[in-house]
Structure 1
């Protein structure tokens, strides 16, 4: 069972984009996380902790709205999919993970990314003090959806638009 198919997560959102490249090119670009700072402006640094070709662990520094955020990710890369989770998610989440999928389409490759998560109510109240408690799930979905759209747009520039 894939991470986005389990009942362990209360929330999920998916973003997708068709990119003019082969599935192999798209998968390879996302698989080679050490190269990301050369292609994606918001990724400032990658420190590879483990990579045996299928399983990967790395620390990434990203620019998120002018703030440097350090993220640790663990990934399982297989069969046109990259499944991932964050052992230490943002303080407003108790769990956070997702999956990238790559499928052939008329344009080249249909790339989708799904985030799954559970909210830490006390952490969310501290992180988003101006957001009504009932609106926090939608607020978090917007944040994660924006991150997905930014990444997809970046990969489209790199893979589909020529860099």
Structure 2
């Protein structure tokens, strides 16, 4: 019988309990709210229960698992239990509990119970460190997001760029998946460092050239799901952004491929005058980010287009 370890973390939030509960219940928005979460997909979805596939960083690695969640909006509780865990985790579950403290205040408790594979002490230590780090980060981010919900919404922007390719969806996907080759394939990428200890779960560090010739470093966790999408989240962002998530989507259409790049960014208002000048506004910053990110994404998609169309022509 495996040893069960239990933890509890809590935070006081100056926001309505119902709002905080909705943020916990809405897993689709977790990558924007919670720093560790990279991507979430619904496997099944009902009014009071759901099965989700979730990918998140833990102690510097990307992990993926499937969980069952039971939603209780009346009691402001969400219970979760991993159905398929990743070593060293043998079992993991817990509960989000929102306790109303008044019309504009609440407390959030996050509990975990877990067991390590073979009760390995090193595994217990690894899991304990990951739960401590992620729970602390998640509760702090939940508090910040809930307490500034309206302002945060005004600082958030999402946009798409689309390219049509007369080539196979597998070839377009492979070009985006093989980010370790980008410094040789893309002129705006100076250097790149890619690790992929588990297939489909990547850590990418990249030095990117800007339009004025400067370079900036970004670090991302990527989840690669052949051949439909690649989702990523930056853990190290440029100064203007507190959050940057993205998605490459690949669709086979009429014998070709439509590839779409989507970015979601949350701006740092204090950085706007420093980066863009004292007259710059939030709208100025949104347009700047949209242009800069869209330029690089479109350049990457056009390079993928040339690669895939070249491969098709070579076998025609």
> Among residues 40, 57, 60, which one is paired with 2:206 in the alignment?
60
Which residue does 1:75 correspond to in 2? 222
- In the alignment, the residues of structure 2 paired with residue 58 and residue 6 of structure 1 have an alpha-carbon distance, to the nearest angstrom, of 17
Which residue does 2:193 correspond to in 1? 47
Q: Give 1:145 shift.
A: 1.8
Pick the structure with greater CA Rg. 2
Which residue does 1:20 correspond to in 2? 166
> Among residues 308, 313, 316, which one is paired with 1:159 in the alignment?
308
In the alignment of these two chains, the number of paired residues is: 162
- In the alignment, the residues of structure 2 paired with residue 130 and residue 160 of structure 1 have an alpha-carbon distance, to the nearest angstrom, of 45
Which residue does 1:132 correspond to in 2? 280
> Among residues 221, 231, 246, which one is paired with 1:98 in the alignment?
246
- In the alignment, the residues of structure 2 paired with residue 46 and residue 6 of structure 1 have an alpha-carbon distance, to the nearest angstrom, of 23
- In the alignment, the residues of structure 2 paired with residue 149 and residue 131 of structure 1 have an alpha-carbon distance, to the nearest angstrom, of 29
Q: 1:20 to 1:131 in 2, by over 3 A?
A: farther
Instruction: Indicate conservation of the 8 Å contact 1:81/1:99, yes or no.
Output: yes
RMSD: 2.4
- In the alignment, the residues of structure 2 paired with residue 44 and residue 60 of structure 1 have an alpha-carbon distance, to the nearest angstrom, of 8
SS at match of 1:90: coil
Deviates more, 1:126-135 or 1:28-37: 126-135
Q: Give 1:142 shift.
A: 2.0
Q: 1:62 to 1:135 in 2, by over 3 A?
A: closer
Which residue does 2:138 correspond to in 1? none
- In the alignment, the residues of structure 2 paired with residue 28 and residue 136 of structure 1 have an alpha-carbon distance, to the nearest angstrom, of 33
CA offsets 1:97-153 (integer angstroms, 9 cap, x no match): 110000001251100000001000011221111653142222222222222222222
Higher relative contact order (CA 8 A, sep 6+): 1
What's the TM-score, normalizing by structure 1?
A: 0.86
- In the alignment, the residues of structure 2 paired with residue 47 and residue 136 of structure 1 have an alpha-carbon distance, to the nearest angstrom, of 29
Which residue does 2:157 correspond to in 1? 11
Structure 1 residue 116 corresponds to structure 2 residue 283: no
What's the TM-score, normalizing by structure 2?
A: 0.47
Structure 1 residue 89 corresponds to structure 2 residue 254: no
